[in-house]
Structure 1
Amino acid sequence: MSTKNRVLALLKETSTALSGEKIAQELGVSRTAIWKAIKELEKAGYHFEHQAIGYRYLPSDVLSKEELSQQLPTLSIDVASTSESTMKVAKYAAIDGQRGPSLFVADMQEQPKGRFGRPFYAEQGRGIYMSLLLSPNRSFEELPQYTVLAAVAVAEAIDSLVGVSTEIKWVNDIYLNGKKICGILSEAISDFESGHIAHIIIGMGLNFSLPQENFPAELKEKASSLFPDGQATITRNELIAKIWQRFFYHLDRLPDVSYLETYRKKSYVLGKTVSFVQKDQKYTGIATAITDLGELVVQVGQQTITLSSGEISLQTIQ
């Protein structure tokens, strides 16, 4: 561990101020090295109170590979200051032969896009933009419902850390107080020789502490963030770690599908009137159930239509 990371760890676990001399003694380095480490950490975005008696750590929200690796030791983790698209980064990694589980995180996504290529709004340091690369090497029929698993993991992580009650809009959006705060996208990379799915990439864009007034006018009424006042009570590192801890918790317990009960209980659409387009025809009906395969069952008049992810986009919910 580098000197700056050792200094950070020591100050984080100490509630009172520590002098440069005390830190130097604890770590066995010079006071000059401590001063340089503090400067490097502040440049990276960490905050410290400079008192006459020393330094005291102040809450800071800086994406940290080291901190994430401590909480997610089984993952290969890459953290970038900016990325055109973490989905693209994960795809290129898979093409280059990298195998999962690997997590790619960016402080800013330059070309944020969700399902069907729809753009979404992003700001530096105000969101979570990440993609997980998995290498299941299974047939399509053997694959778990990764998008459903991820949605449940995000909802559980947010609820437990922030004390709110999120909802899931089928199939891949997380809602809070009636507005979308997170979108999830899953893509598969197949191996034509074996006929198996070689890789799965799960991408997420989560509005974390984006102030509500910063959203473009066309999005303000339907999108929000976890902390719309811009004042986060947790760090992004904490939420990222909790999301993937919950995801692998459920993944490791398959074929137990109890997570589906959470998905159904948190549904933003069950029991509501929904409209969707299928084969260029618009339908309107009541969302009545979610199957064990994560499909949405809609009652359209006397007809029952079962929708699978990727086929449609819900147009309205009432």
Structure 2
Amino acid sequence: MVRDDVLRTLEQNRGQLVSGGTLSRELGVSRTAIWKAIAALREMGFPIESVSGEGYRLAETSDTLSEAGIVMELKTDVLARNLCVLSTVDSTNTYLKQRAAELPDGYAVIADCQTAGRGRRGRSFLSPSGSGIYISILLHPTLPLERINMITVAAAVALSEAIAETANFTPDIKWVNDVLMHGKKLCGILTEASVEAETGQLSYAIVGVGINVRTPEGGLPEEIRDIAGCLEDFAPHAVRRNSLAASFFNHMEACYRLIASGDTAALIDRYRSFIHFLGQPITVIRNGEKTPATAVAIDPSGHLVIEQDGQRSTMLAGEISIRLPGQAQ
């Protein structure tokens, strides 16, 4: 599509003027087609400036989500090669669940805003426009059910690596999948799966992530202000959402390949590299009851080994939670 080709060229020359003649020649279309594409992009919200006789440029501060802006940095073979970018959706996970039977492996949807974003344990997930990105990926894996938790591990690793690559700081992972910086939660991850009743085989899995990129207008709600943070609170520069999304897809595919190949040890090694609370005291929360423990290790299956009263046990994701020293309630 001419519109996407124009956007890709302006993205590649962000902040610099590109003449209509240059666009016309490089893309092999008429000047009229270029003008129509620019008009369409402006209607979509892209801040494209024009200087008479000199051309067009995409404003340096532009951070509008777009398929073209993501795809130009995509290095995957499967993930997000079928990509849908929405301005608003109720929930990206719900969007894919409703279409899972008809969509291919690796199909991804990304939204600027969710009206009914969901987190773990039925919690809502704040998803305002312009301040974050909300992504879900549909997978049709041929995995044993006991390895499904590795998809969540992969998402946590991929997010952490994408943040390090695009925001230039290295976050921590709090088991199982909370991505933090200085104790502030930056992202939410929700993995959902469907199992065929007759065969017991996995039908599909959907991994959804929400990333707080910058503080929304009016600030974070008071009830999460002490526990949540945004990438730009810690990044030395503005974070471009298209680059962040592409980086996440790139790293997620690499992690997913390790799971599919059975090389989960390599994935767990990458997971452990972001976990810095081992050997420290933690609080274990089970059925509302809080007990002290020491975090000992991450086992080969991605489970947390703890020690209480001299006895070691393994925590399974979803059964209990942990709280780190100094972490807000």
- TM-score with structure 1 length normalisation? 0.90
Q: Which residue of 2 aligns with 1:4?
A: 3
Higher mean C-alpha displacement, 216-225 vs 135-144: 135-144
Q: Which residue of 2 aligns with 1:68?
A: 70
Relative distance call for 1:104 and 1:218 in structure 2 (3 A) is same
Whichever residue aligns with residue 40 of structure 1, its letter is A
Deviations 1:165-194 (A, max 9, x none): 110011011112321100111121001122
CA distance in structure 1 between the partners assigned to 2:82 and 2:139 by the alignment: 11
**What SS class does the counterpart of residue 105 from structure 2 fall into?**
coil
Q: For 1:113, which of 107, 118, 139 is the aligned residue?
A: 118
Whichever residue aligns with residue 313 of structure 2, its letter is I
Deviations 1:65-89 (A, max 9, x none): 2343451452321211111111111
Relative distance call for 1:45 and 1:172 in structure 2 (3 A) is same
Whichever residue aligns with residue 192 of structure 2, its letter is E
Indicate whether 1:83 and 2:84 are aligned: no
Higher mean C-alpha displacement, 207-216 vs 74-83: 207-216
Q: For 2:144, which of 128, 139, 144 is the aligned residue?
A: 139
- Give matches, 1:244-255, under 5 Å: 244-253=249-258, 254-255=261-262
Q: Which residue of 1 aligns with 2:165?
A: 160
Preserved CA contact (<8 Å) 1:209 1:231: no
Relative distance call for 1:280 and 1:166 in structure 2 (3 A) is closer
**What SS class does the counterpart of residue 312 from structure 2 fall into?**
strand
**What SS class does the counterpart of residue 5 from structure 2 fall into?**
helix
Indicate whether 1:242 and 2:250 are aligned: no
Q: Which residue of 2 aligns with 1:266?
A: 274
Q: Output the aligned Cα RMSD.
A: 2.4
The structural deviation recorded for 1:230 is 10
The structural deviation recorded for 1:30 is 3.9
Q: For 1:215, which of 178, 201, 220 is the aligned residue?
A: 220
- Give matches, 1:11-50, under 5 Å: 11-14=10-13, 16-50=16-50
Preserved CA contact (<8 Å) 2:90 2:116: yes
Indicate whether 1:183 and 2:191 are aligned: no
**What SS class does the counterpart of residue 223 from structure 2 fall into?**
coil
The structural deviation recorded for 1:97 is 3.5
CA distance in structure 1 between the partners assigned to 2:236 and 2:117 by the alignment: 23
CA distance in structure 2 between the partners assigned to 1:165 and 1:309 by the alignment: 24
Q: Which runs of 5+ in 2 are unaligned?
A: none
The structural deviation recorded for 1:294 is 0.8
The structural deviation recorded for 1:27 is 3.7
Whichever residue aligns with residue 262 of structure 2, its letter is P
CA distance in structure 2 between the partners assigned to 1:307 and 1:144 by the alignment: 13
CA distance in structure 1 between the partners assigned to 2:312 and 2:270 by the alignment: 24
Preserved CA contact (<8 Å) 1:86 1:105: yes
Relative distance call for 1:264 and 1:23 in structure 2 (3 A) is closer
Indicate whether 1:58 and 2:59 are aligned: yes
CA distance in structure 2 between the partners assigned to 1:184 and 1:34 by the alignment: 40
Higher mean C-alpha displacement, 255-264 vs 152-161: 255-264
Q: Which residue of 2 aligns with 1:307?
A: 315
Whichever residue aligns with residue 132 of structure 1, its letter is I
The structural deviation recorded for 1:127 is 0.7
Whichever residue aligns with residue 211 of structure 2, its letter is L
Deviations 1:217-274 (A, max 9, x none): 2222211111139996342121111112112212223433223223223215323322
Relative distance call for 1:93 and 1:7 in structure 2 (3 A) is same
Q: Which has the higher contact order (CA 8 A, sep 6+)?
A: 2
Percent of aligned pairs sharing the same letter:
34
Q: For 1:127, which of 127, 132, 155 is the aligned residue?
A: 132
Q: Which residue of 1 aligns with 2:231?
A: 226
Preserved CA contact (<8 Å) 1:274 1:284: yes
Preserved CA contact (<8 Å) 2:165 2:247: no
Higher mean C-alpha displacement, 16-25 vs 244-253: 16-25
CA distance in structure 1 between the partners assigned to 2:276 and 2:189 by the alignment: 15
Preserved CA contact (<8 Å) 1:213 1:220: no
Relative distance call for 1:143 and 1:230 in structure 2 (3 A) is closer
CA distance in structure 2 between the partners assigned to 1:170 and 1:23 by the alignment: 49
Relative distance call for 1:66 and 1:10 in structure 2 (3 A) is closer
Q: Which runs of 5+ in 1 are unaligned?
A: none
CA distance in structure 2 between the partners assigned to 1:8 and 1:285 by the alignment: 53
Preserved CA contact (<8 Å) 2:8 2:69: no
Relative distance call for 1:180 and 1:212 in structure 2 (3 A) is farther
